[in-house]
Amino acid sequence: MGSFQVELKKWVDDSYEIEIGFGLQQQFIKDIKNGLVGEIKKFAVITDSVVKDLYAEKIYQSLLEQGYTADLFVFEAGEKSKTRKTKENIEDAIEDAMLEKGYRRDCCIIAVGGGVVTDLAGFVAGTFGRGVPFINYATTLLAAADASVGGKTAVDTPLATNLIGIFNQPEKVYLDIATWKTLPKRQISSGLAETIKHACIANKDFFEFLEENIDKILAIDKEACEHIAEENCRIKYKVVMQDEKESGLREILNLGHTVGRAIETVSDYQLLHGEALSIGMVAEVSLAKKLGYVTEEEKNRVIALLEQAKLPVVIPEYIDREKLVKKLYTDKKVKNGQLRFVVQQGIGEIVEYQENNFAIPIEESVAREIIMEMK
């Protein structure tokens, strides 16, 4: 009898470019022709029923015109589609349809859409044939601010959001700001919640910029939007570069998400992700105030900015608050049954609770009090 050591030490270069601009479809095709994904000639364009007609169809047609093999895979728009079922096969199947159409490992997946599309397509890409390359072409502010950058991919389950997934980095990310013009106002606000989160975490000047320019952003002013796209990226990629797999610092990106994700699930996705996050940020800035990390004035500024962005800041009547408290335990930051919250320090910084530990253990009674006290 003997034993064997399987040596698998790795050095992996998963670096990629994020391109920000107004109308990037031609640039995308140019990059493919210039070998962005090497010799691959087969592309699965994954999108949802809304983005299909707006942008994905055009990208798919351009690939065909350039002589590539391409297929369009479309699923029903909305967070409710971010499930394992959609991933494998519903009537608008992804994986099974790809297999039926002869897709194997020699393909590349192009995600064209918002956060649900980039999360789902990135997850399919990481598991299809044990992994094929993918590209994110983000068409929403929410995807630009958060979902398309950083390699987190996942699906939701009935119990909670994003619990089943993988870290999988794309080959390139396109943040096409021109696409924000076709977004419903509610979706712009939803994306602004992640933007305000970034400002609260890392940059007080950016927070002030948002206070002064929110109306311009809501009207999709080119310069203001380019600035927020760049700032969002800068804040996010700096964190991801230091802690890709969320073993410490990356937890700060979860500010507002403990209550946010729970309320999103309890609302049965009636609340958009950013709307739920906004309410979650109100809960967490209230906790920060209770713990002495922000002043009353700072707390009110955060809530006022969320309101300026036309986001909800109160818990809707139809939410059962006891159910919400229970749901907090499905959060990924829960350790040994203990609730843990990321908490901001003033505006633009996060509390480092212990070295490289950015989530503070909180007793259920304190969390309950915060939720019960919220209007």
User: x/- contact string, 147-186, with ligand GLY (CB under 6 A)?
Assistant: ---x-x----------------------------------
Closest distance to ligand GLY from the beta carbon of 104 (Å) = 30
| 331 near ligand GLY, rule: CB under 6 A | no
Closest distance to ligand GLY from the beta carbon of 253 (Å) = 4
Restricting to residues 213-252, which ones interact with ligand GLY according to CB under 6 A?
250
Distance (Å, whole) CA 132 – CA 28: 18
Smaller CB separation from ligand GLY, 71 or 251: 251
Smaller CB separation from ligand GLY, 85 or 238: 238
Q: Are strands 349-350 and 344-345 parallel, antiparallel or unpaired?
A: antiparallel
286-322 burial, b for 16+ CB within 10 Å, e for fewer?
bbbbbeebbeeebbebbbebbebbbbbbebeeebeee
> What's the burial of 69, exposed, middle or buried (CB within 10 Å: 0-12/13-18/19+)?
middle
User: x/- contact string, 250-289, with ligand GLY (CB under 6 A)?
Assistant: x--x------------------------------------
Restricting to residues 45-64, which ones interact with ligand GLY according to CB under 6 A?
none
- Give the full edge-to-edge strand order of the sheet including 134-138: 17-21, 172-176, 134-138, 108-113, 42-48, 69-75
Closest distance to ligand GLY from the beta carbon of 147 (Å) = 7
Restricting to residues 134-153, which ones interact with ligand GLY according to CB under 6 A?
146, 150, 152
Look at the alpha carbons of 237, 243, 247, 252 in this order and tell me if their dihedral is positive or negative: negative
Closest distance to ligand GLY from the beta carbon of 78 (Å) = 19
- Amino acid (1-letter code) at residue 133: P
User: Which residue's CB comes closest to ligand GLY?
Assistant: 253
CA distances from 147 to 139, 195, 236, 375 (A): 11, 12, 10, 29
Contact residues for ligand GLY, defined by CB under 6 A? 146, 150, 152, 250, 253
